[in-house]
């Protein structure tokens, strides 16, 4: 089964790092986000990968090549101009014509859940499945009891009653006919599917997940994913373990 990685964004919030490398190539403990994703996908049997690339595409192509040194097969769908998540997927449809279902993920997320659970939920009634995770609070929380006495401090807890889009999707190939030429799948296709009851959420609790949107995310993910990053570094003999924000 194939996986599509959207790796064409400019990563403006991570400048000046992204002046010279695309966002998926940012290194966390010496391991690029993209290498982490390829290793994660391969671990769960997704060895056929389509990379949707645009901005500084040569940096990605020089690093990944055909994917053979990472144990996967990689194909490239190239955007000459930014197309959004929906347009990028539509641009890659020639690589997906033989697939009944596949997964797609943003090129700036790290997670350790099993993405096969998404494609397992695709059936005639569900044309798309979204991985959702509990909302991580950006702030510490103070619990207040009787007479406004402070009971407990909770440092940046996960808010289990709220769920957010994790940026990983299981998709039926039929959605390719409904994608915009230019635009985001999250604001075009998904709301339409929701109106007809054809999209489902799969909840992943007690797992690691982070979207790498800021310098702080780079630093914190190096701690959160330490064991997985250490394993990849050993596997590919990576000795320079610095973050790109250092």
| Sequence ranges of the domains in the chain | 2-235
The pTM for the full model equals 0.92
Contact present, 112 and 232 (Cβ < 8 Å)? no
Alpha helices for the chain (secondary structure H): 33-43, 57-64, 84-91, 116-120, 189-195, 215-224, 226-235
**What is the predicted pLDDT for the residue at 203?**
95
Contact present, 168 and 115 (Cβ < 8 Å)? yes
Of 165, 185, 164, the residue nearest 4 (C-alpha): 185
Average pLDDT over residues 71-98: 94
pLDDT of residue 231 exceeding 80: yes
**What is the predicted pLDDT for the residue at 137?**
85
pLDDT band at 183 (very low <50, low <70, confident <90, very high): very high
pLDDT of residue 10 exceeding 90: no
Q: What whole-number distance in Å separates Cα of residue 217 and Cα of residue 193?
A: 32
| Active-site pick, 43, 101, 156, 195 | 156
Catalytic-residue membership of 90: no
Beta strands in 18-177 (DSSP E): 27-28, 31-32, 48-53, 73-78, 101-106, 109-111, 128-136, 141-144, 150-154, 158-172
Q: What whole-number distance in Å separates Cα of residue 203 and Cα of residue 186?
A: 18
pLDDT band at 246 (very low <50, low <70, confident <90, very high): low
2-6 and 101-106 strand pairing:
parallel
* CATH domain 2-235 topology: Spore Coat Polysaccharide Biosynthesis Protein SpsA; Chain A (3.90.550)
In the chain, count H helices and then E strands. 7, 13
């Amino acid at each position: 089964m194939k996986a599509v990685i959207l790796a064409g964004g400019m990563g403006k919030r991570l400048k000046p790092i992204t002046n010279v490398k695309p966002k998926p190539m940012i290194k966390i403990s010496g391991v690029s986000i993209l290498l982490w994703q390829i290793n994660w996908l391969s671990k769960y049997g997704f060895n056929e990968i389509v990379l949707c690339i645009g901005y500084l595409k040569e940096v990605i192509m020089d690093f990944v090549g055909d994917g053979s040194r990472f144990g996967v097969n990689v194909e490239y769908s190239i955007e000459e101009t930014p197309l959004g998540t929906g347009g990028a997927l539509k641009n890659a449809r020639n690589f997906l014509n033989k697939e009944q279902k596949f997964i797609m993920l943003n090129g700036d997320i790290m997670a350790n859940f099993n993405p096969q659970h998404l494609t397992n939920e695709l059936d005639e009634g569900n044309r798309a499945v979204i991985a959702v995770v509990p909302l991580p609070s950006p702030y510490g929380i103070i619990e207040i009891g009787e007479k406004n006495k402070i009971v407990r401090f909770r440092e940046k807890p996960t808010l289990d009653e709220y769920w957010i889009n994790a940026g990983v999707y299981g998709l039926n190939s039929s959605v390719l006919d409904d994608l915009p030429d230019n635009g985001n799948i999250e604001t075009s296709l998904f709301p339409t599917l929701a109106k007809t009851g054809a999209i489902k959420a799969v909840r992943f609790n007690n797992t690691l997940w982070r979207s790498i949107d800021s310098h702080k995310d780079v630093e914190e993910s190096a701690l959160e994913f330490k064991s997985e990053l250490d394993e990849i570094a050993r596997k590919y003999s990576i000795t320079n373990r610095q973050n790109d924000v250092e």
